[in-house]
Structure 1
């Protein structure tokens, strides 16, 4: 049976963590966190104790497209000097298609996501992009994903460098101009226009090609940053490097070695880390990445510390001599997703274990992704037995309560089950609350110091492959859970589909759908679009069940196929319930 919780009890849980006095039935006020210039869809990043938030923008308009480089043969009769809004989007979408132009280094590269800070107004994060050497306009080619902000205003996340057009050679050795850069997306720390890319701490004796990849996911009030960074080239990357530098046996034959090394490896990175995701697969890093901690010092210097990971013993046979067999320890990936003010980090790490399935069968030497804590230089496994092949610790508060999820059998399917664990215990054990119902899939993203966690959950037990999801709030101490939509005022115009963060004032950073109008060729295209919002103590009465159902699906201008495709993509991202921290 579906559990029901009264609005008054759950609103009281919010009020208990808010620093101002509020009536138990008071509704939560919804504050839209705005957009960067020319963006219409936003996603939450993170929020600090002051209520300041970082926001990721997608569905970007007004980018500096190099129309002078586009061939009329591809774009037909389009007049590049007089494009309609729909035609502009068709050009932009073709340039951003990972299966087409976006995978071709000869074609201009455009960013698909940029970030801003909201501190009462939306301020775009400047300082990442560069001027195009040929047009003297910004390249608009830098993806900036801001994931967290602390009270001092330091912002962390992942970003690349700008693509610039430069002369090199193609696969046949002929002169060609490629849009290229000399690095891959890496972790950064940002404050007031100053960008610092965070270095990796490679494994001993390893050289990481072009600095590798990385991302920063969290920062505490002591300016300690955690995330992931490359510690070594993967086996596949090393094989690619050989291919890229091995001339063909026959003179004049086509070969990957006939083009610049950076271009050859970039193609490999794009296929594994961009195209694979666009096609619905998981990201396949070309580097071995492990959890890192970066200490930002008072003199602005940065100290990188590899938090490490587990290893797998691998047997290697010489292909030319089957009797020549050696054993080698291969480092496995890990990542740190959050850190509290005591310096304890949590995250996930691959490890080799004996796995027990739902029927009690034991399978030895299975590689699983497991929840871990990083404390005092040690990796602390949070799982005592391995019935889940994927488990992730997503957040930790200053009470040393960590929260996360494990993908466990639930009926005829496997679903994400939220847990919390007290790291103060000598033998920490994962506690799996029920959620909205017995087989509800739910994942927490954050927990505050009142032990209230937030995230995304299935709210109905209907038999469907993709159930409806909402943003939830769960009080660990009272075992009370709520659909955040029940705390909105009636006719708010918003429906909360996910919750990303919560601070000690009880403010919640959430993802909502709301009706947004986009001017398209003189008419307003009105549709339910995704927006980052902050939920805070308000006035008036909470609407209870049924709140958030008044979002306009579509009216006004007809649905352009490109708009429909974009909305379908965002719907897929939501229903697949992928976490932001990839």
Structure 2
């Protein structure tokens, strides 16, 4: 039996969870989490139980661009001595583009993501940049991304060091100038004004390797991932950088200093690929890590573990190292994430590499994936009652869709439960779960048969098996459309990603467009604009993704003609 609840009832439920008086038809309030000066897009990443959030700023203006260093022939139609807004944007985009100046170490480097804390107003996370001696301004070359904040005001994330303009020499001892730094992006913890770059459990990595902290609990235990070894391709790159070719041309990697040569490789694998729409290809083997403070307050690294690959059949080959990542940690220090594993995927297929959802607990990995029916599964969040949420990529109709799951890891016999979502082929990804068994994330509400479909932020209640499009809880005049939800605290406040119209003044014109903004959803007093019966309770409707996929295929065969015009 399918039961339906009205939007107003769900809005009242959210209002009650945040201890605000509310009428049954009250909407939720949208609080824009602000932006730093010169930033026109914001993205939320984490929130604590007091509603204080960490926000990433993008689309940055008013940066310290060194126009005097720009080759005027590249911008022959622009006045670089008196740049207007349009010239600024053209040069900024060129400096950030891998296909233009971004991949050239001789060109200035600009940060594209900086962060602030929102506690009633945006406050920049300072201390990552340095003053450029030539301009007496900050270099504006650092990406610093806060990812989470706990109730003790400790913020974790990932940041690089500033790029410096250095006069150095190439392998032929000729003078050259490069914008360089001596490390890769690394995990950080920021508390009481102090910033600590978090180490890997392996100490002899080139320039410290790469790392990222993704979550922190109230015991000041942070989790994420850190480099533990070179990838085979990086090892090969060291050889390429060291051995001159016969022509000794300037395009030869060995013509440059080692750090410049390796930087080019890092940039092509981890920056350019993402900018061009691909996936990041780490140059180090990265595995799940935890960091916690000693009695003296020092942050220490602890390797959380990874699966081992089978012994190679070739005697001269080395066993490869498999990756793992931790995405969340609860108050008991239990972490969840994903880990690569080599399995027998189906009968007759051996040594298939899968990414499987795992729990990191007491020095061991607990695999959550059900019989490896998917090659991609990950656990995204865990609450203090040890309920884990995540998603698995499954074939549904013509395309792969992400199927949400939850599981109580305190029950040794429990298996993941796969709720239905908005409809049987809807892709939905849980991002966070609170201690009231409320889950938020991103889901599809369109039945359009396409690989990419419009998304909304959702609220899912495990106890009632109820899923809600958060847009149906907004007042009609909010001006925002919620496309994702990334966190929820125990007061029921939701950290969400919204689209709203933002105006950017460009010289004498106004550029107006829908842009991404970080918002907090909380109890409000207006009337919800949503359609009645938008939320659905599906008692007994949870199913395994394989069954859901079969139903989706059956439905597709029946309705193919109806969707053909739109597919």
TM-score normalised to the size of structure 2? 0.90
What's the CA shift for 1:313? 2.5
> What displacement does 1:412 show?
2.1
Q: Equivalent residue for 1:304?
A: 301
Kept in 1: contact 2:399–2:450 (CA 8 A): no
Q: Does 1:481 align with 2:478?
A: no
Q: Does residue 285 of structure 2 align to residue 315 of structure 1?
A: no
Tell me: CA distance 1:316–1:512, structure 2 relative to 1, closer, same or farther (3 Å).
same
Partner of 2:528 in structure 1? 542
Unaligned runs of 5+ in 2: 533-567
Distance of 2:42 and 2:436 partners within structure 1: 28
**3-state SS in 2 of match to 1:478:** coil
Matches within 5 A, 1:274-313: 274-297=271-294, 299-313=296-310
Deviations for 1:492-532, whole angstroms, at most 9, x for unmatched residues?
A: 11110000100000100000011111111133222211100
Q: Are the equivalent residues in 2 in contact too, given 1:485–1:545 (CA < 8 A)? A: no
* CA distance in structure 2 between the partners assigned to 1:250 and 1:171 by the alignment: 14
- Larger mean CA deviation between 63-72 and 458-467 belongs to 458-467
Aligned length: 531
Tell me what 2:503 maps to: 517
1:452 aligns with 2:438: yes
CA–CA distance in structure 1, aligned partners of residues 282 and 5 of structure 2: 43
Structure with higher RCO (Cα < 8 A, 6+ apart): 2
Matches within 5 A, 1:294-443: 294-297=291-294, 299-315=296-312, 317=314, 325-326=315-316, 328-356=318-346, 362-443=348-429
The answer to whether the Cα contact below 8 Å between 1:393 and 1:405 also exists between their aligned partners in 2 is yes
Q: Where does residue 219 of structure 2 map in the other structure? A: 222
Alignment partners' CA distance in 2, 1:466 and 1:194: 42
- 2:15·2:522 contact (CA, 8 Å) conserved in 1? no
Question: Is 1:23–2:20 an aligned residue pair?
Answer: no
User: How far apart are residue 254 of structure 1 and its match?
Assistant: 6.2
Task: Give me the whole-angstrom Cα distance separating, in 2, the residues matched to 1:464 and 1:458.
Answer: 11
- 1:428–1:248: structure 2 CA closer, same or farther, 3 Å change rule? same
Residue in structure 2 matched with residue 97 of structure 1 by the alignment: 97
Quote the Cα distance in structure 2 between the aligned partners of 1:483 and 1:142: 36
Q: Secondary structure at the match of 2:259?
A: helix
Distance 1:302 1:477 in 2: 38
* Alpha-carbon separation, structure 2, partners of 1:520 and 1:169: 41
Structure 1 residue 538: Cα displacement:
0.9
DSSP 3-state at the match of 2:457: strand
Distance in 2 of aligned mates of 1:37 and 1:284: 33
Using the alignment, how far apart are the partners of 1:438 and 1:365 within structure 2? Answer: 31
Question: Could you list the runs of 5+ residues in structure 1 that have no partner in the other structure?
Answer: 318-324, 547-582
Q: TM-score with structure 1 length normalisation?
A: 0.88
Distance 2:514 2:317 in 1: 56
Q: Specify which of 228, 239, 242 is matched with residue 239 of structure 2.
A: 242
1:298: Cα distance to partner? Answer: 5.2
CA contact (8 A) 1:308 1:334 kept: yes
1:470 is matched with which residue?
A: 456
Partner residue of 2:189? 189
CA drift at 1:121: 0.5
Q: Is 1:66 aligned to 2:52, yes or no?
A: no
Alpha-carbon shift at residue 173 of structure 1 (Å): 4.8
